[in-house]
Amino acid sequence: MTVKQISVFLENRYGQLHEITNILAQAGINLTALNIAETKDYGIVRILVDDVAKATDVLIGAGCVVSVNPVQVIAVPNKSGGLNDTLEKIADANIDIEYMYSTVDGVNGEAKLVFKVDKPELLEKTV
Amino acid sequence: MQNYFQKEIETMPREKLKSLQNEKFMKQIKHVWNDCPDYRRKMEASGVSLEDIKSIDDISKLPFLTKDDLREAYPYAMLAKPLSECVRIQSTSGTTGKRVIAYYTKHDIDLWDECCARALVAAGADKNDVVHVSYGFGLFTGGAGLNGGSHKLGCLTLPMSSGNTDRQLQFMTDLGSTILCCTPSYAAYLGESINERGLRDKIKLKAGIFGAEAWSEEMRKDIEKSLGIKAYDIYGLTEISGPGVSFECSEQTGMHINEDHFYAEIVDPDTLEVLPEGEEGELVFTSLDKEAFPVIRYRTKDICVLKKCECSCGRTFIKMVKPRGRSDDMLIIKGVNVFPSQIEAVLIEQGYQANYQIIVDRVNNSDTLDVNVEMTPDKFTDNLGEVAEMEKKLVSALKAMLGIYAKVHLVAPKSIVRSEGKAVRIIDNRKI
Ligand SMILES: [Zn+2]
């Protein structure tokens, strides 16, 4: 499934991540996934939320630098070898994974994973 | 639309202008000789007496005046009129040592206002305009100068001073300001704020006059785009009078010097030899008509070129190109001359905001240069590799421009303090 992910620029400074979660909490927005990629000086927080338009608005309003882009959310069986099988199919289909992380809202013995890949349509067909 | 504030003077044939300068100069030099004992001593010390000065062509016999001379003169020494004749002081923003105090008689204020009124007209203003002055008011000459010029021209003048962005934007939209006067960094900040709040359609600005800071052509384009205006440069120094010593016309290929009030020379900053027209050197000014605080051959430390050529605007005043930077602003890092304006030009060219901070330090006897740059939405993606790649490109572009390595730090937007007067762009932590 294709969903919209919000990325936020983060300076490597004490309390920066909390500032962002605070802005979202004040607006009553629920986070369903969160991932951080960082260098020594700065990082990118990638999030999935229940209300993308509202979250983008409040973040920009608070002066954050924000970028919104599509990512794929894939359900993976939450059992031994579940992720391994999925990654094998992706590798066989020659799909390049730019990054991936997991969400917090897996249910019914399934884990939901977020993928950023070079061929999103193919990924949807493959798994 | 009005083309000139004082047509006869601004378009005077060069020959006639030269003789007007000569006449005024002879009066000015007699005035300092007779009424300012410090000047007289200075002239005598360099072996010149009034009799040696027969015309303005003898100006090169006179000693130079430096900022240090004026600092030492604190508070009254260089005064050439009794205090009872003076009506105002202004002062430089010196952070080290004594400030320079400039004194003005009514005549001097009048002359200064006239210069600023000429600049306003050259930027397309007439008495129907609403002039929004967001330069700082107080000892700083920016606010007082453009405020005075705007009065003189008969415009509705908004003495806003700087800061309080909400009020700036409210007055700008409610009163329909058409001309904005402030520092270029504050103009850029107001532009950002206007666009953020979606007020672009509600403002009526058509032109801006920006000075008191070095700024690049790239920054000009940026401001023009964000405010939807034509941006004009203005030049001046408190020591000489204030903003309006020179100003840009619609051609924007240099700033016309108000030559009926100020005589300009370019000298070699090392040998102090006067250089022929068209050569780059230090700009030196002599006032021609000041009462309280005349300056004779004042060294501005600005490095620039003078251009005597016909201008499409019809003004005959000589033009000075935008100074490459004040030698005051110039940093020497690892033995290399670095002007903040060079760094700014690279940032804008690479798509970053002109808001930056330069931090110079010395570690193990070697200079370090760090540049803090604000992240902007245009340069940001979800891909860390791409962001890091853009950062690398910026580092190599800076290296190509400056010749030395600068460490770039991407910081959160708006984390670099916006200037309300002059921007604090440079933090030099070296203890030299
Ligand atoms: Zn012109």
Q: Name which of B377, B382, B388 is nearest A39 (Cβ-Cβ).
A: B388
Least confident of B32-41, B61-70, B317-326: B317-326
Look at residue B94 in the predicted model and tell me its pLDDT. Answer: 54
* Interchain CB contact of B412 with A (< 8 Å): yes
Q: Kind and range of the H or E element at A117?
A: strand A110-117
Q: How confident is the model at residue B1 (pLDDT cuts 50, 70, 90)?
A: low
What fold does the segment set B1-324 form as a domain? Rossmann fold (3.40.50)
The pLDDT, as a whole number, for residue B423 is 62
pLDDT averaged over every residue in chain A: 90
Assess whether pLDDT exceeds 90 at residue B186. Answer: no
B415 closest CB neighbour out of A5, A11, A67:
A11
CA distance A82 to B147: 73
Weakest mean pLDDT among B33-37, B398-402, B409-413, B427-431 = B427-431
The pLDDT mean for chain B works out to: 91
Q: What ipTM was reported for this prediction?
A: 0.85
Q: What is the pLDDT of residue B419?
A: 56
B106 at interface of A, judged by CB pairs closer than 8 A:
no
CATH 3.40.50.12780-classified regions of chain B:
1-324
Query: pTM here?
Result: 0.71
* Higher pLDDT among residues B353 and B69, named by residue: B69
Return the pLDDT at B68: 87
* Domain boundaries for CATH 3.30.70.260 within chain A: 71-126
Å from CA of B6 to ligand 1 middle: 14
The predicted-structure confidence for B367-413, as pLDDT tens digits, reads as follows: 899 999 988 888 889 998 889 999 999 999 999 888 889 999 998 88
As a whole number, mean pLDDT of residues B99-104 equals: 92
Does the distance separating the beta carbons of B387 and A41 come in below 8 Å? no
Q: Give ranges for CATH 3.30.2130.10 in chain A.
A: 2-69
Fold of B331-428: GMP Synthetase; Chain A, domain 3 (3.30.300)
Position B245 confidence tier, pLDDT thresholds 50, 70, 90: very high
The answer to whether residue B381 neighbours chain A at the CB level (below 8 Å) is: yes
Of the candidate ranges A13-27, B6-20, B272-286, the one whose mean pLDDT is the lowest: A13-27
Average pLDDT in the B291-300 region?
97
B421 has pLDDT over 90: no
The CATH code belonging to domain A2-69 is 3.30.2130.10
Q: Which fold has domain A71-126?
A: Alpha-Beta Plaits (3.30.70)
- Asked whether residue B93 carries a pLDDT value surpassing 70, the answer given is no
| Percentage of residues in chain B having pLDDT higher than 90 | 66
Average pLDDT score over residue span B349-371 = 87
pLDDT at B81 over 90: yes
Give A25-57 pLDDT, tens digit per residue: 999 999 999 999 988 888 999 999 999 999 999
What pLDDT, on the 0 to 100 scale, is given for residue B95? 46
Closest Cβ opposite residue A11 in set B376, B382, B411: B411
Closest CA–CA distance from residue A41 to any residue of chain B (Å): 7
Expressed in angstroms and rounded, the spacing between residue A61 Cα and the centre of ligand 1 is 43
Q: How confident is the model at residue B119 (pLDDT cuts 50, 70, 90)?
A: very high
Residue A105 has pLDDT above 80, yes or no: no
> Bigger pLDDT: B385 or B33?
B33
CATH 3.30.300.30-classified regions of chain B = 331-428
Residue B147 has pLDDT above 50, yes or no: yes
Average pLDDT (A102-126) is 86
| pLDDT at residue B96 tops 70 | no
